[in-house]
Amino acid sequence: MNEYSQYIGILSGVLTSTSLVPQLVKILREKKAESVSLGMFIVLLAGVSGWIWYGILKKDLPIIATNCFSFVVNSLIVVFSLKYKIKKAAAKKK
């Protein structure tokens, strides 16, 4: 039973971590991010950081790895959202 729980944990972590990749691809493709809530992503980054810390304390590599990937994807969404929102605001001022 314990062997299966490890696989379930890894699969769940991979699915959760990759869930926002389509959002990142859409932002990059359209170069728009008007509907992206930066507040939600900041809270999500804080939560993911907590999971990474928890994984380190538990020495649980699947938790650490999947949440590090999630942190990178979410950080990229924040970076590109800010970039395109700032670009749009600058274009409106012209």
Question: Mean pLDDT across the stretch 16-37?
Answer: 91
- pLDDT top residue among 47 and 35: 47
CA distance 55 to 9: 12
* Topology adopted by domain 2-93: Monooxygenase (1.20.1280)
C-alpha torsion sign, points 40, 87, 69, 15: positive
Q: What percent of the chain has pLDDT over 90?
A: 62
Q: Does position 21 have pLDDT exceeding 70, yes or no?
A: yes
DSSP 37: -
Question: Highest mean pLDDT: which of 7-11, 52-56, 87-91?
Answer: 52-56
The residues spanned by each domain of the chain are 2-93
pLDDT for 89: 82
Give the predicted TM-score (pTM) of the model. Answer: 0.86
Q: What is the pLDDT of residues 69-91, one digit of tens each?
A: 999 999 999 999 999 988 888 88
pLDDT for 52: 96
Banded pLDDT at 19 (limits 50, 70, 90):
very high
